Amino acid sequence: MLGGVAAGLPLAAHAQQSAKLPTVGFLGASSASAQAEWTAAFVQRLRELGWIEGRTVAIEYRWAEGRNERFAEIAAEFVRLKVDVIVTDGGAAVAAKKVTSVNPNVFAVSADPLGTGLVASLARPGGNVTGSTVQAPDLAGKRLELLGEMVPGFKRLAILANAGYPAAQREAGEVETIARATGIEIIRTEVRRAEEIAPAIEALRGRADALYVCTDSFANTNRALINSSALAARLPTMHGIRGMAEAGGLMSYGANFPALFRRAGDFADKILRGGKPADIPVEQPTKFDLIVNLKTAKAMGIAVPPAIQARADEVIE
C-alpha cells in the first residue's frame, strides 16, 4: 500500500504544478491557419524567454475566424478562466478592454490604439493594455505609389473594406484622400460577410484598374476568396500584410507581422514577471516588407518592373 501511495505522489505533484502554471489567453482575430506563422513567432519568443508551453506556461487558444462579434465572447471566457494575460490583435484588443479593465491585455497589432481609446498615450499607456501599433499615416501613400509602379497609369481604384471594422474604414478614407489628390477615381466597396465578397469584386470588373484591400482579420480569413475573385475580375491587388500576397494577391506592403507577434512575446514576458501594462510603452514597427507574387502577375499579364523586383523583400515564383 505504501508503495502505491509513493508511486502516486509524483503524479499528484505534477497535477498540482500544472494547475499553477501562469496562463496566456491567445485571442486570434482570424483563423488558426491564417495566423499560423504569427502564432509560431509568439510561442517561439516565449520559449526563448523561458516560457515553454505545457511546462512553464499554459496557452489557451481561441479563434474568432474573422467574426468581430466573437471578440467580446472570447475575452469574457478568458476572464472567467482567470488567465494572467490576454494577447490580442486587431479589433479584438478594443473588445477585450471593454470586457475587462483589470486583466492585462497585450495587442500584438493595433491600427489606432490612441483613437480607439486603448491607451492614454504611447509612452505611458496608463491602463491594463499595451502592445505594438501599426498606425502610420504614410503607409497608404506608399502602397499607392508602389501600385502605380506596378500598374502604370491606372486611373480608377477600387477600395474593398470591411463595413463592420472602424480601422478598415479609416484606412479606406486615407487611401481615398490620397488617391483623389492625384486625380485617381475611387470606387469604394464595403462588405460584411464572406458571401458578399465574390459578387462585390465581380461587380468591379471593367470599372476599376486595380483593387486596394484594407487590412483586417476578416480580409485575412477570406484572403483566398478575395484573391481568386480579383484574379477572375482581372484586378491587380494591393494588400497590407504578407499572407495576402502569399495567398495569390499581386503585392503587399506593410509591417512584418511575425516580428510584431515576437514582440508580443516580450510584452507578455514582462507582464508574467510582474510588470504592469500601464508602465510599458506602446511600440511601433521597425521592419516593413514588400512582397510581390510573380505567379499572379504572370496570370494577369503584368510585367513586374525590375526596380520593384530589386526592392522586394520576397518575390513569390
Residue 115's pLDDT is what? 84
Q: Residue 291 CA to chain centroid, in angstroms? A: 16
Domain ranges in the chain are 18-135+257-286, 138-255+289-316
Residues 6 or more apart whose Cβ sits within 8 Å of residue 35 = 28, 29, 63, 89, 220
Low-confidence ranges of the chain (pLDDT < 70): 1-19, 136-137
Residue 68's pLDDT is what? 87
Nine-digit cell string for 276:
504592469
Residue 186 has phi, psi (to 5 degrees) of -115, 135
> 129-133 and 105-110: which strand pairing?
parallel
Residue 66's pLDDT is what? 87
Residue 19's pLDDT is what? 57
| Distance, CA of 130 to CA of 124 (rounded, Å) | 9
Q: What is the pTM of this model?
A: 0.85
* pLDDT tens by residue, 268-292: 999 999 999 999 999 999 899 999 9
| Distance, CA of 214 to CA of 238 (rounded, Å) | 9
| Distance, CA of 138 to CA of 181 (rounded, Å) | 14
Q: Which helix (H) or strand (E) holds 225?
A: helix 223-232
Nearest to 107 by CA among 128, 130, 91: 130
Nine-digit cell string for 235:
484586378
* pLDDT tens by residue, 286-305: 899 999 999 999 999 999 99
Residue 1's pLDDT is what? 35
| Distance, CA of 254 to CA of 159 (rounded, Å) | 17
| Distance, CA of 2 to CA of 11 (rounded, Å) | 15
Q: Do domains 18-135+257-286 and 138-255+289-316 have the same CATH topology?
A: yes
CATH 3.30.420.40 fits 18-135+257-286, yes or no: no
Nearest to 116 by CA among 104, 133, 103, 102: 133
**CATH of segment(s) 138-255+289-316:** 3.40.50.2300
Residues 6 or more apart whose Cβ sits within 8 Å of residue 119 = 113, 125, 126, 127, 129, 130, 282
